[in-house]
C-alpha cells in the first residue's frame, strides 16, 4: 500500500472515529467500543483490571509472559513480536486501539531488545487502520541523571512520535511507575516473596530503608485507562502517572521478616546513588481527575495471600515421590545402575558352575542394556562398574594387576565393554535426536495449527457477536426488517395500532401520537393512536390554526423540530402525504437531551417514510374493495368487515393506544339508506358504521372515552333514535 493511501485511510478512519465519539458523547454514552490490542509486557493484566479499564471493548493480549486462554470478550495469546504469529493477529483482527506495554515497567528488568520490539510493532501498525496508539512506558525516562535505560526509552518514545506524526494516528505516551504483582514470576515483589517463603537466611533490598516506594497497583492503572478513554481528546500527548509514595522500603523489609522471622534484611547504603525523578506538574490529576487509590506497600498482606494462593500450593507427599521416581529421572537411573550391578554380580556367582549360563556374559549384557536405555555417558559409567567387577573376578582367580596389565589378551574384555557402551549409546542418542527433531517439527506444526484455530474461533465469535449486535441494534437492518414486517398490512387501523409500539421501540420514546387529516379543507386533525403516557394529556382533536409552520415543513417531506421549545407544540413532527395532500401527522412530544440531533431526526424521517409506504397502499386497497366493504349506496359497512375492525380496536384499546365506545341504534323501521343519510352529519370521518344481521346499526366511535360518551349518546338520541352503549366484549 502506498504511503499516500495509508495516510488517506488513516485520516478517514480518524474522522469516522471522531464522529462516532462525538455522537456517543452527545447521547450520554461512556466511551467508545473498540477492538483493543495490548501487546508486550502483558502479564500484569488480569481479567478484573481489563474489565475495569475497557468494560465494553473486545480485547486481545499478546505477550510471552501469559498463557493461551479466553474469558468472554478477552483472549490471551502467548506470542511475541518476533514471529509470524503477531502478523497473523494483526491481519485477522481489525484493531482500532493498540497499547504497547514496555518491558521496563518491571522493576530491575534489562530489555535490550526494547527498541527492536517497538520497531516491529510500528511496522505492523503501519499497515492497519489504527485509530489510537498508546506507548505505556516506564517513567525512568523522567530521571534527572542519564543512564542506558533512559536513553532506550527516549529513543522508543521518539519512534512512536515519528510514526504517529507520519501516518496521522492519534497517540499518547504514558509514563508510569514500576508495576507490581505477586503472580508475575519475573516481578520484583514475586521474587522477594519467593526468597522469603523458602526461608533464606538473608535478603538484600537495593534501596535505603528510608526511601519511598516507586510502585503502582494495576487497579490504579486500569482506572486511568478508563478515564483516558472518556477524555481522549484532552490533555497532552505525553502523560505521566505519579505514585502514591507514602510507604518506605523499611515497610517492605519488615513484612519480609514477618514471613521468615530468622531472615536478615539488608538495605542499600544511603550513600548509594539512586535515580532521582524530575518534578513535573500533575496534569493527569487536573485534567482527568485521576489519583492512585492504592499504596502497594500498605497492602502487602493482600499481595502475599494472592502469591500463596496462585503460586505456592505445596504438592502432596505422593505427588513429590511420583515426581522424583518417574521413569526417566536421575533418581531412577542411579537406582537402576546400583541394583543392576548387584544383580549382575549375583548372576555371575550362581551361574559359575553352569556350562550353559557361562556362555552368557552378564557384564556385557548389563552394559548393553544400560547404554541402550540411557545413552553413551551412562553406558560408560556402567562399563566402568563392570570393569571393576571384572578386575575383582580376575583377582579372585589368582591373577594380579601386573599380569592383567602386561598380557594384551586380558585387555579385550575391557575394550569390548567400552566399545559396546559407545556403539549402543551412539545408536540410542541418534535415535533420540531423530525423535526429538520430528517431535519439535510436529510440535511447531501443532502450535501453529492451534494458534490458527484459536484465531479462527475468535473471529467466529466476533462475527456472531457483530451479527447479534447488528440485528439487535435499534437502528440496525434487523430492526428495520422487523418494522417492515409489523407495518406490512392492508388495514389502515392495524397499521396505526402497530406503528406506536414500533416507533416507541426504535426511537426509545414513549410520547408519540398520530393524527389523521381526512380532508384537505379540514380545520381539525383527529387523534388516531397515541402512547399510553399521553392518553390523558392529549385532546382527541386539535385545530390546525397555529400549526402552519409545522404543516409547511412536513409537506416538503422534512421533519419539523421545535427549536424554540414552545410548550404547546411537540418536539418533532413528521407527515404522511396521500395524493400530494397531508393526510397524517406524526408527533413526538418529548425528547431527551441526547435525542435532539440530526441522527434522531433522520430516524424519524425513515420511520415516517416506511409508514407512509404502507398506509397509502392500505388506503388505495380499501378504495379498490369499497363495494365489498360497504352496503351499496351507503357508508354503512357489512357486518363481517365491521366485526374485523372492532377486533382491531379492541386489541389497540387493551394496549391503551386508543379509546372508543360502541353504540347500538334501533332503525325503528327506517331503511338502511335513510339511516345512512340521517347519521352522516352526526359522526366523524374516523367513526365506523356497521349493520348487524338482526337489522341494528352499530356505531364504533373512535377516541371516545368515559368523559365524552354521554355527549355522543345525546347526539344520537336527539335524532329520535333508540340508542344504548354496548360492551364490545359482548359482540
For residue 662, what is the domain's CATH number? 3.30.70.270
Is residue 426 classed as helix, strand or coil in its secondary structure? helix
DSSP characters for 563-611? Answer: TT--TTS-SEEEEEEETTEEEEEEEE----GGG-SHHHHHHHHHHHHHH
Q: Does some domain include residue 449?
A: no
Q: Is residue 317 part of a domain?
A: no
Q: Is residue 698 part of a domain?
A: yes
- How many Å apart are CA 351 and CA 345, to the nearest integer? 10
| Cell reading at 413 | 574384555
Q: Residue 517: its pLDDT value, please?
A: 87
DSSP 8-class letter at 546: T
- Domain of 510 in residue numbering reads as 477-624
Residue 78: per-residue pLDDT: 87
Buried b (16+ CB within 10 A) or exposed e, 390-419: bbeeeeeeeeeeeeeeeeeeeeebbeebbe
**Nearest-10 crossing angle of helices 492-507, 598-624:** 170
Domain boundary among 279, 311, 343: 311
CA torsion, points 96, 102, 105, 109, in degrees to nearest 10? 160
Residue found under cell 518491558: 103
Residues 155 and 26 in one domain: yes
SS3 percent helix, strand, coil of the chain, rounded to 5, is 50, 15, 35
Q: Which residue has the cell 351507503?
A: 634
Let me know whether 160 and 232 are in one domain. yes
Cα–Cα distances (Å) from 306 to 102, 215, 267, 310, 311, in that order, read 24, 18, 25, 6, 8
User: What dihedral do alpha carbons 392, 397, 400, 406 form, nearest 10°?
Assistant: -100
Phi then psi for residue 254, to 5 deg, are: -65, -35
Bridge partner list, 195: none
Cα 501 to Cα 191, 438, 493, 508: the distances in Å are 62, 66, 14, 10
Q: Do residues 176 and 292 both lie within one domain?
A: yes
Number of domains in the chain: 4
> Are 61 and 190 within one domain?
yes
Q: Are residues 161 and 289 in the same domain?
A: yes
Same domain, 108 and 147: yes
Residue with cell string 425513515? 606
- Phi/psi of residue 392, nearest 5 degrees: -60, -40
pLDDT of residue 8: 39
Helices (H) and strands (E) in the chain, counts: 25, 23
Burial of 482 (0-12, 13-18, 19+ CB in 10 A): middle
User: Which residues of the chain register pLDDT less than 50?
Assistant: 1-32, 326-327, 354-357
- Among 77, 74, 54, 72, CA closest to 134: 54
Is 616 domain-assigned?
A: yes
Are 340 and 483 in the same domain?
no
Q: Is 492 found in the same domain as 408? A: no
- Residue 6: the pLDDT is 36
> Is the residue at 167 inside a domain?
yes
Residue 619 shares a structural domain with residue 636: no
Residues 6+ apart with CB under 8 A from 680: 635
Within this chain, do residues 631 and 618 fall inside the same structural domain, yes or no?
A: no
Are residues 519 and 685 in contact, defined by beta-carbon separation less than 8 angstroms? yes
Would 463 be classed as within a structural domain? Answer: no
Are 612 and 694 in contact by the 8 Å Cβ rule? The answer is no
- Please say whether the beta carbons of 196 and 260 come within 8 A: yes
* CA terminus-to-terminus distance, the chain: 74
Do 147 and 275 form a contact (C-beta atoms < 8 A)? yes
User: Given this model, what pLDDT does residue 528 score?
Assistant: 86
Going 194 to 196 to 200 to 205, the CA torsion angle's sign is positive
Residue 415 per-residue DSSP state: H
Residue 467 lies in a domain: no
What is d(CA 269, CA 155) in angstroms, rounded to the nearest whole number?
A: 32
Within-domain flag for 464: no
Indicate whether 534 and 662 sit together in one domain: no
CATH code: domain of residue 556: 3.30.450.40
Helix H or strand E encompassing 136: strand 132-138
Shared-domain flag, residues 614 and 633:
no
Please tell me the distance from the alpha carbon of residue 421 to that of residue 435, in angstroms, as a whole number.
21
User: What is the C-alpha separation between 129 and 236, in angstroms, rounded?
Assistant: 22
Of the residues 311, 345, 376, which one is the last residue of a structural domain?
311
State which of 603, 624, 645 marks the end of a domain: 624
Residue matched to cell numbers 523499611: 250
Amino acid at each position: 500500500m502506498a504511503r499516500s493511501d495509508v495516510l488517506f485511510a488513516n485520516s478517514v478512519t480518524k474522522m469516522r472515529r471522531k464522529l462516532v465519539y462525538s455522537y456517543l458523547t452527545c447521547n450520554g454514552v461512556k466511551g467508545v467500543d473498540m477492538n483493543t490490542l495490548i501487546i508486550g509486557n502483558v502479564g500484569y493484566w488480569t481479567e478484573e483490571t481489563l474489565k475495569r479499564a475497557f468494560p465494553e471493548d473486545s480485547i486481545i493480549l499478546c505477550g510471552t509472559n501469559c498463557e493461551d486462554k479466553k474469558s468472554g470478550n478477552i483472549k490471551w495469546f502467548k506470542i511475541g513480536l518476533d514471529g509470524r504469529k503477531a502478523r497473523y493477529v494483526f491481519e485477522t483482527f481489525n484493531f482500532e486501539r493498540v497499547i504497547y506495554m514496555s518491558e521496563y515497567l518491571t522493576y530491575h528488568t534489562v530489555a535490550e531488545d526494547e527498541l527492536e520490539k517497538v520497531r516491529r510493532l510500528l511496522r505492523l501498525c503501519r499497515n492497519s487502520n489504527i485509530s489510537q496508539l498508546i506507548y505505556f512506558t516506564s517513567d525512568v525516562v523522567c530521571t534527572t541523571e542519564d543512564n542506558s535505560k533512559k536513553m532506550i526509552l527516549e529513543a522508543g518514545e521518539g519512534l512512536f512520535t515519528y510514526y504517529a506524526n507520519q501516518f496521522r494516528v492519534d497517540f499518547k505516551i504514558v509514563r508510569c511507575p514500576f508495576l507490581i504483582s505477586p503472580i508475575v514470576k519475573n516481578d520484583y515483589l514475586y521474587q522477594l516473596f519467593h526468597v522469603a517463603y523458602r526461608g533464606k537466611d538473608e535478603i538484600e533490598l537495593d534501596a535505603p530503608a528510608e526511601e519511598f516506594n516507586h510502585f503502582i497497583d494495576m487497579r490504579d492503572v486500569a482506572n486511568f485507562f478508563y478515564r483516558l478513554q472518556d477524555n481522549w481528546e484532552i490533555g497532552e500527548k505525553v502523560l505521566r502517572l505519579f505514585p502514591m509514595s507514602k510507604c518506605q522500603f523499611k515497610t517492605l523489609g519488615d513484612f519480609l521478616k514477618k514471613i521468615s522471622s530468622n531472615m536478615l534484611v539488608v538495605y542499600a547504603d544511603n550513600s548509594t546513588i539512586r535515580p532521582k525523578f524530575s518534578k513535573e506538574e500533575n496534569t493527569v490529576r487536573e485534567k482527568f481527575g485521576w489519583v492512585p487509590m492504592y499504596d502497594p506497600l500498605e497492602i502487602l498482606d493482600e499481595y502475599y495471600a494472592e502469591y500463596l494462593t496462585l503460586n505456592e500450593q505445596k504438592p502432596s507427599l505422593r505427588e513429590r515421590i511420583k515426581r522424583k521416581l518417574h521413569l526417566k529421572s536421575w533418581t531412577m537411573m542411579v537406582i537402576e545402575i546400583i541394583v543392576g550391578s548387584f544383580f549382575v554380580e549375583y548372576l555371575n556367582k550362581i551361574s559359575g558352575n553352569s556350562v550353559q549360563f557361562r556362555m552368557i556374559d552378564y557384564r556385557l549384557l548389563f552394559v548393553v542394556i544400560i547404554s541402550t536405555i540411557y545413552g553413551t555417558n551412562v553406558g560408560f559409567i556402567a562399563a566402568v562398574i563392570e570393569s571393576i567387577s571384572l578386575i575383582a573376578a580376575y583377582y579372585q582367580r589368582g591373577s594380579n594387576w601386573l599380569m592383567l596389565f602386561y598380557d594384551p589378551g586380558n585387555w579385550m574384555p575391557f575394550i569390548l565393554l567400552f566399545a559396546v557402551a559407545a556403539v549402543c549409546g551412539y545408536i540410542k542418542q541418534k535415535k533420540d535426536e531423530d525423535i526429538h527433531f520430528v517431535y519439535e517439527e510436529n510440535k511447531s506444526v501443532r502450535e501453529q495449527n492451534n494458534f490458527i484455530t484459536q484465531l479462527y474461533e475468535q473471529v467466529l465469535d466476533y462475527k456472531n457477536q457483530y451479527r447479534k449486535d447488528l440485528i439487535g441494534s435499534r437502528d440496525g437492518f434487523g430492526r428495520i426488517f422487523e418494522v417492515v414486517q409489523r407495518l406490512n398490512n392492508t388495514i389502515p387501523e392495524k397499521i396505526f395500532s402497530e406503528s406506536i409500539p414500533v416507533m416507541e421501540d426504535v426511537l426509545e420514546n414513549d410520547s408519540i401520537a398520530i393524527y389523521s387529516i381526512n380532508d384537505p379543507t379540514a380545520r381539525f386533525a383527529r387523534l388516531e393512536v397515541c402512547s399510553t403516557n399521553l392518553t390523558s394529556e392529549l385532546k382527541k382533536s386539535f385545530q390546525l390554526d397555529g400549526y402552519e409552520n409545522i404543516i409547511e415543513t412536513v409537506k416538503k417531506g422534512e421533519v419539523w423540530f421545535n427549536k424554540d421549545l414552545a410548550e404547546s407544540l411537540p418536539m418533532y413532527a413528521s407527515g404522511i402525504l396521500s395524493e400530494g395532500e397531508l393526510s397524517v401527522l406524526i408527533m413526538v412530544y418529548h425528547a431527551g437531551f441526547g435525542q435532539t440531533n440530526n441522527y434522531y431526526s433522520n430516524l424519524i424521517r425513515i420511520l415516517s417514510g416506511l409508514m407512509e409506504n404502507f398506509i397509502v397502499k392500505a388506503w388505495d386497497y380499501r378504495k379498490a374493495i369499497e363495494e365489498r366493504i360497504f352496503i351499496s349506496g351507503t357508508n354503512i359497512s357489512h357486518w363481517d368487515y365491521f366485526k374485523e375492525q372492532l377486533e382491531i380496536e379492541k386489541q389497540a384499546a387493551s394496549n391503551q393506544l386508543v379509546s372508543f365506545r360502541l353504540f347500538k341504534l334501533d332503525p325503528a323501521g327506517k331503511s338502511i339508506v335513510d339511516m345512512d343519510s340521517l347519521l352522516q352529519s352526526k359522526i366523524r370521518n374516523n367513526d365506523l358504521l356497521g349493520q348487524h344481521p338482526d337489522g341494528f346499526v352499530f356505531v364504533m366511535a373512535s377516541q371516545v372515552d368515559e368523559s365524552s360518551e354521554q355527549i355522543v349518546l345525546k347526539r344520537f338520541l336527539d335524532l329520535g333514535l333508540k340508542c344504548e352503549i354496548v360492551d364490545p366484549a359482548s359482540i
